[in-house]
Chain A
Amino acid sequence: MLGLPDPDDVRLRDGLIAGAEPALAELYDTYGPVVFGMALHVTRDRGAAEDITQDVFVDLWRRPEHFDPHRSPLRSWLLLIARRRGIDWIRRRDARESVRLATMDPAPTLLEDDVLASTARKQVRKAIADLPAPHRQAILLAYYRGLTYREVAKELDIPEGTAKWRLRNALRRIGAQLRAEGFEDRLNFE
Chain B
Amino acid sequence: MTDDGHPGDLAGAYAIGACTPDEERSFAAHARHCAACAEEAAELSRVAEWVGTATARTPAPTLRTRVLAAARAARAPAGPAGPGAEARRLGALYGDRVSELDGLLRRLSRPQWLVASGPHRSVRDLVVHLRANDATVAAAAGVEVVALEADPRAGWHRQAGAIVDVLRGWDAGLDRPVSLAGRAAVRRSLREALVQRGFETWIHAEDVRVVLGLPPRTPDARQLADIADLAAGLLPQAMAAAGRARPAWAVRLVLTGPGGGTRLVDLAPTAAPGTVVAEVTMPAERFCRLVAGRLASAPDSAEIGGDRGAAVDLLTVAATMGCD
A contact residues vs B (CB 8 Å cutoff): 1-2, 17-21, 24-25, 28-29, 32-34, 36-38, 40-41, 49-50, 53-54, 57-59, 61-63, 65-66, 68, 70-71, 73, 75-76, 79-80, 83, 110, 114, 116-117, 120-121, 124-125, 128, 139, 142-143, 146-150, 152, 161, 163-172, 174-175, 178, 183, 185, 187, 189
Contacts and interface: CB of A to CB of B under 8 A. Distances in A.
B16 interface: yes
Given A121-B53, A174-B47, A80 B17 contact: yes
Nearest to A110: B55
Interface stretch (B69-77, B107-115, B177-185): B69-77
Contact of A83 (B41, B43, B52): B52
Contacts of B12: 164-172
Contact of B229 (A32, A65, A79, A164): A65
Given A19-B85, A24-B71, A50 B53 contact: no
Contact of A63 (B42, B52, B64, B261): B261
Interface in B269-302: 271-273
14 contacts: A20-B77, A20-B82, A32-B59, A53-B67, A61-B74, A61-B75, A75-B49, A79-B53, A148-B19, A149-B13, A163-B13, A168-B9, A168-B13, A171-B51
Interface string B51-64: 11111111110011
B47 A1 contact: no
A134 to B, nearest CB: 14
A172 B44 contact: yes
B59 A50 contact: yes
Contacts of B55: 34, 37-38, 40-41, 110, 121
B143 interface: no
B18 interface: yes
A162 to B, nearest CB: 11
A178 B50 contact: yes
B68 interface: yes
B262 A66 contact: yes
B49 A76 contact: yes
A57 B76 CA distance: 14
Contacts of B9: 161, 164-165, 168
Interface string B11-35: 1110111111000000000010000
Contacts of B225: 62-63
Contacts of B273: 68, 70-71
A116 B58 contact: yes
Contact of A171 (B16, B76, B272): B16
A18 B78 contact: yes
Contacts, number: 202
Given A62-B74, A143-B18, A174-B51, 16 more contacts: A2-B42, A21-B78, A32-B64, A33-B58, A34-B53, A40-B55, A41-B57, A68-B273, A80-B17, A83-B52, A149-B13, A164-B10, A168-B8, A171-B51, A174-B50, A187-B50
B67 A171 contact: no
A28 B74 CA distance: 16
A71 to B, nearest CB: 5
Contacts of A76: 45, 49, 52
B63 A54 contact: yes
| Closest 3 pairs (CB-CB, A-B) | A168-B12, A124-B54, A19-B78
A118 to B, nearest CB: 8
B217 interface: no
B187 interface: no
B66 interface: yes
B48 interface: yes
B53 A175 contact: no
B121 interface: no
Contacts of A37: 55-57
A58 B57 contact: no
